[in-house]
Structure 1
Amino acid sequence: MKFQETFDFDYPRNVILRMFGDEAYYRAKYEKMGGEPEVIDTQSSENRFSITVRHALEATRLKFPDFIKSRIGDHLYLRQTDAWQLDQGRGRLDIEIEKAPVQIGAALHLTDQGSGSRLTLDFDIKASVPLLGGKIEKTVAGPISRHMQKDLKLTNQMAADYA
């Protein structure tokens, strides 16, 4: 299932990209979201940055239907990789959900927008479950979209430290 989301930041592209290239931002963000992040891998060069983090979310907060809740339990464990080509404002987000045959990917593009910036996320959700894959993809899209908006609102607040 493919869909697009946008988010407008209060800060220009260069500020947001400085933050997206800082491991400390990711650690602080996940901690503020109530988890204990485990940084699995970080790679950084002049114009590239990537980080893979494993973290947990309370499944009850995501409002999944019962047939998904029964499979994942009380907590949803995610392995998330954020990778950025910082000089181009382009990136990729890949999320693996443990105990669920669902993969989420998004192409990311950050552009200046007035005095702030806009992040465009082109999502692709794939569920590899015969006969139910499409239903699962639609069911997962709503909670993931709501969680992403919460994540980006927090990110916008944290950007003040990079301005």
Structure 2
Amino acid sequence: MKHEMKARYPAPSSVVMKMFADRDFHTRKLEATGYSGKYQVLNCVGDANSFSIRIERKVPVSMPGMGKNAPESTVVNDETWSLASKTGRVVVELKGMPLEMSCVTSMKDEGKDCVVTYQWEVKSKIPLVGGTIEKMVVNDMDKKAEEETQAAIALLKNYR
């Protein structure tokens, strides 16, 4: 299933890219969105041209009827950015789940703001019910995206 998401930041793309290319931004964003003690940075590499970070975290599995008793799953995010082109890629590995997720990312200036676009591809490997699972995952991503964007906006002041 293909799915496009956009996040708008009240800053130029040069500032947003500086933020996205900082390890501390990623850890502070996780702390701000409730992952304190539930993540670890597996790898982080950056230079004048590119930045990549690999983070493992424990996330609740959203399942109908589970509520707050939902089990946790291990998710590994691999995020890579080309600083000059302001494009990147995110690959998400959901341990033990028959799902593949990745996206191509880009950022551009729109007026005084920066818009980051995520072109997601979500694929379930389960026949018959795969489409339903993909829709559940996309709905969950949409719900969490606004919280993550707001947490990132709150951190922008550190990069101006």
TM-score of the superposition, structure 1-length normalised?
A: 0.88
Q: What fraction of aligned residue pairs are identical, expressed as a percent?
A: 23
Q: Tell me the equivalent position of 1:144.
A: 141
Q: Tell me the equivalent position of 1:155.
A: 152
Q: Tell me the equivalent position of 1:52.
A: 54
Aligned-pair CA distance for 1:74 = 2.1
Given that 1:55 and 1:78 are in contact with CA atoms closer than 8 Å, whether structure 2 keeps it comes out as yes
State the distance in 1 between where 2:9 and 2:50 align.
21
Q: Tell me the equivalent position of 1:7.
A: 7
Name whichever of 90-99 and 79-88 sits farther off. Answer: 90-99
What does 1:21-60 align with in structure 2 at a 5 Å threshold? 21-35=21-35, 36=37, 37-59=39-61
Q: Which runs of at least 4 in structure 1 moved beyond 2 Å after TM superposition?
A: none
The CA RMSD measured in Å over matched residues stands at: 1.9
Q: Residue 25 of structure 1 aligns to a residue in which SS? A: helix
Given that 1:78 and 1:98 are in contact with CA atoms closer than 8 Å, whether structure 2 keeps it comes out as yes
State the distance in 2 between where 1:149 and 1:82 align.
19
State the distance in 2 between where 1:145 and 1:154 align.
15
State the distance in 2 between where 1:151 and 1:162 align.
17
Name whichever of 84-93 and 145-154 sits farther off. Answer: 145-154
- Mind listing any 5+ residue stretches in structure 2 that lack a counterpart? none
Given that 1:30 and 1:55 are in contact with CA atoms closer than 8 Å, whether structure 2 keeps it comes out as no
Matched residues, number: 157
Q: Tell me the equivalent position of 2:131.
A: 134
Amino acid at match of 2:10: D
Given that 1:65 and 1:139 are in contact with CA atoms closer than 8 Å, whether structure 2 keeps it comes out as no
Amino acid at match of 1:19: M
State the distance in 2 between where 1:27 and 1:75 align.
19
Aligned-pair CA distance for 1:140 = 1.0
State the distance in 2 between where 1:58 and 1:18 align.
30
Aligned-pair CA distance for 1:58 = 3.1
